[in-house]
Amino acid sequence: MSTIVMSGCATGIGAATRKALEAAGHKIIGIDIRDAEVIADLSTAQGRKQAIADVLLQCSEGMDGAVLCAGLGVQVKPAGKVTSVNYFGAVELLDAFLPELQKGHRPAAVVISSVASAHLAWDRNPLAAAFEAGDEAQAAAIVEGAGDQGGNLAYAGSKNALTVAVRKRVETWGKAGVRLNTVAPGATDTPLLQAGLKDPLYGESIARFVPPLGRRAEPSEIAAVIAFLMSPAASYVHGAQFVIDGGIDALMRPTAF
């Protein structure tokens, strides 16, 4: 039985992914603010530090995989909390877990990004320098100073930076023998989406975000792709981003890929 560490496993895509991985015979060590083996708040530096320490204590027999699903949406306030969870809450865990993953059996990791990651170019991302410098306070200050656009900037900017961070690690992780990929979901029917739909500022634009397939994804549909990427069937997939969005990225950017 392989051991996979998961963040954001209590609801939505994370809960569906946990179910799929457990059905495939994996042992899950979950990290979340509730209903998990490790209870931690990834929006704070101390919470991330504690999550890492608690996970490593529970991985005495090794770590074979990591799936980082924890994330917040555009409607969350303060907007700086979104950048903290979506970027720092993933990248810090990735880097901390790599030494243990190297010891694992056919190790692999998947990070949940977003289709929005491709809609803000890295060289135009106002948060890029702060993220690369590891300056959490500066990233928060930028989005919280952006007014009504702060939520959108925090979400798209953090997911763009997260995908870039994964891609920049492709050589190091490849040499370590650990596959690392991202998935980029579009609109998915989760509690996070439902909260966004109720938001007076962002609800209308979220409701209009309907792909060519004419419906939102079920969490299990995203989980199925993650389960594939964590399996031996994806043994040569490394550094890739899988867009799972019902065609909306192709509709919006047919010549950009």
Instruction: Tell me the DSSP string of 173-209.
Output: HHHHT-EEEEEEE-SB-SHHHHHHHT-TTTHHHHHT-
CA dihedral 151, 154, 159, 162 (to 10 degrees): -160
Q: Which residue has the tokens 């930076």?
A: 161
On the CB side of 190, how many CA atoms lie within 13 Å of its CA?
27
202 counts as catalytic: no
DSSP 240: -
87, 155, 202, 236: the active-site residue: 155
The pLDDT assigned to 194 comes to: 77
* Sheet strand arrangement including 38-39: 38-39, 27-32, 3-7, 65-68, 108-112, 179-185, 241-244
End-to-end CA distance of the chain: 38
pLDDT of residue 61: 81
Read off the tokens for 73: 């949406």
How many C-beta neighbours within 10 Å does residue 108 have? Answer: 25
Q: Which amino acid is at 237?
A: V
Q: Up-side HSE of residue 95: CA atoms within 13 Å toward CB?
A: 12
Q: How are beta strands 27-32 and 241-244 bridged, if at all?
A: unpaired
How is the chain split into domains, by residue range?
70-248
pLDDT score at 172:
98
Backbone angles phi, psi at 131, to 5 degrees: -65, -45
Instruction: Report residues of the chain scoring pLDDT below 50.
Output: none
Strand duo 241-244 + 179-185: pairing: parallel
- DSSP symbol at 95: H
Provide the pLDDT for residue 193. Answer: 67
- The CATH number fitting domain 70-248, selected from 3.40.50.300, 3.40.50.720, 3.30.70.1060, 3.40.228.10: 3.40.50.720
Angle at CA 119, nearest 5°, toward 134 and 172?
45
How far does Cα 29 stand from its chain's mean position? 17
Provide the residue type at 3 as one letter.
T
